[in-house]
Structure formats: structure tokens, C-alpha cells
Amino acid sequence: MRNTPIAAFIAAVAIGLFIFLNSVFVVRESQSAIVLRFGDPQTQHSRAGLKFKAPFVENYILIDKRNRELDQDAIEVIVANQERLLVDAFARYRIVDPLQFYQSVRTEEAGDDRLNTQMNQTVRRVLGEATVDDIVSGRRGELMQRIRELLGASARQLGIEIIDVKIRRADLPLQNSQAVFQRMITERSQLAQQIRAQGNEEAQKITAQADRAATEIRAKATEESEKLRGTADAERNAVFAAAYGKDPEFFAFYRSLIAYESALKAGDSTILLSPDSEFLRYLNDVRGRR
């Protein structure tokens, strides 16, 4: 019976310690806490430290208030010019109102799912009003700002603040890329054929001009040569006529020598003449003089 007071004291201490441990909890710098009584929010703690709650009838949840990243899977978006793009986007956010967040989605996993759905809808809505050129280069910054504003407005209803939204990449789907690549090949082939046709046309024009110029030059040269030949023949005939007028016998002798030279050239032709032929007059005369 002597141990009864000690045992009772130990039991009381153990019960008190158990009740105390069920009455306190620790909130870290990176956390916020919400005290719940039978599932209903009672108190919100945003500062770090040792916090108290009613034992057994109250519990608490901790919510991370650090910056978080929502990395969604690539989604297919139909843009304004009816082309399809695979868009890979991500967002950075933080929970700024833990109580509103808990009342809206209960858990952080459910919050990520809800925010992911809202982000998909917002990205499709904004990029659906833009063209591929706008998304790739032209208005990318402006589009990101628009997505951030719209997503931020819907996320505030969940107690979430959107810090930033970025698009990692925006690519055509594989089948579209192949179609675009084939279309580019076709366009380049058509352009090459057009350039070759234009080149052939220019070559034909240049060739025709060159042929015409060559024909004109040859015609002019022929005309000049005929004129020169005619002038030379006239001068030669004038010389011959003058020589014939001065000494007809010598002129006849000279003409016979030219004829002899032409007739007596080596060749396959045979000429039969009578000894007393006029053609051989000067040759017979030479032989007779001997």
C-alpha cells in the first residue's frame, strides 16, 4: 500500500504529459498551420513557434508556404490559324491564404490538381487566340503575361498567388512536322523549277540575241567582202583592159600562160589536143623557133 501514492503520482504525470503532448505542436518558418475541431477550421497560425490546441477534440494540418512549381505535361493546343501545337508550360506559385486554400481544396495534392486544370484551360484560351508566329517569337512575352493574369485571378479564389508562368517549348506534333517538312520540300522544289524556267527563258533570249547579232555581223561582213571583191575585180579588169589596150599580143600570151598552168597541173584528168590547136600556139611557136 506504500507504493500507491507514488504510482498514482506517476500515473498523473503520465496522463498530464500525454494531455500536454496532445495540446501542443510546432510550426516551422516555412509552414502555416490550421487548427481543426471535428474537421472545421478554428484557428490559423502563420508564424513559427510552439502552438496550442484543445487535446483530443482538435487536430491541425500544416501547409507549406514556400514557393512551389507546377510542371504540367505537354498539351495540344489549336491556335488561331487552325494549326496544332504541343505546348510545354510550367508555373511557380505559393499558398498565401492557408485557410482559404484548405476550405477550397483541403489538401495540397488536390490544390495541385485544381491549379493544373485551371492552367490548362487558361493556356488553351490564350494561345487559341494567337498564331504560331506570335507564340514562337512575336508576342510570346505578352501572351505569358496574359496567362499569368488570368490564371492568377482564378488561383486567388484558392488562396494561391501565381508568381510566374513560362512556356518551355512549343512544337508542332510529329505528324504535323512531317507534313510541314514535306510542304516545305514541295514549295522549294516549285521555287527551284520556277527559277530554272526563268533562267532557261533568259538563256534563250540571250542566245537569240547573240544569234541575231552574229547573223547581222556575218551579213554585214559578207556585204563588205562582196563590195571589196567587186571593187578589186573592177580594178583588176581595169588593169587588164589597160594592159590589153597597150599590147594585145602580150596580154594574150599572159592569158595563155595562166591557162597552161591550170591545164598542166598534176591530177587525174587527161586532155587530148591536136598539135595545131590554137591553145598550143605559143608552145608550138617556141619549138619552131628552136
Q: What is the pLDDT of residues 255-264, one digit of tens each?
A: 776 776 666 6
Residue 202 shares a structural domain with residue 239: yes
In a domain, 163, yes or no: yes
Residue 49 shares a structural domain with residue 32: yes
In a domain, 177, yes or no: no
In a domain, 255, yes or no: yes
In a domain, 218, yes or no: yes
* pLDDT score at 288: 44
In a domain, 146, yes or no: yes
Residue 96 shares a structural domain with residue 113: yes
* pLDDT score at 287: 46
In a domain, 105, yes or no: yes
Residue 122 shares a structural domain with residue 198: no
Count of structural domains, the chain: 4
* pLDDT score at 138: 66
Domain span including residue 265? 247-289
Last residue of a domain, one of 136, 152, 172: 172
Residue 50 shares a structural domain with residue 123: no
Residue 168 shares a structural domain with residue 208: no
Residue 97 shares a structural domain with residue 50: no
Low-confidence ranges of the chain (pLDDT < 70): 1-3, 138, 172-182, 244-245, 247, 249-250, 257, 260-290
* pLDDT score at 276: 59
In a domain, 203, yes or no: yes
Residue 30 shares a structural domain with residue 99: no
Residue 146 shares a structural domain with residue 51: no
Last residue of a domain, one of 64, 82, 112: 64
Residue 78 shares a structural domain with residue 128: yes
Residue 153 shares a structural domain with residue 95: yes
* pLDDT score at 270: 64
* pLDDT score at 122: 92
Residue 145 shares a structural domain with residue 187: no
Last residue of a domain, one of 64, 80, 114: 64
In a domain, 281, yes or no: yes
* pLDDT score at 289: 46
| CA atoms of 32 and 142, how far apart (whole Å) | 34
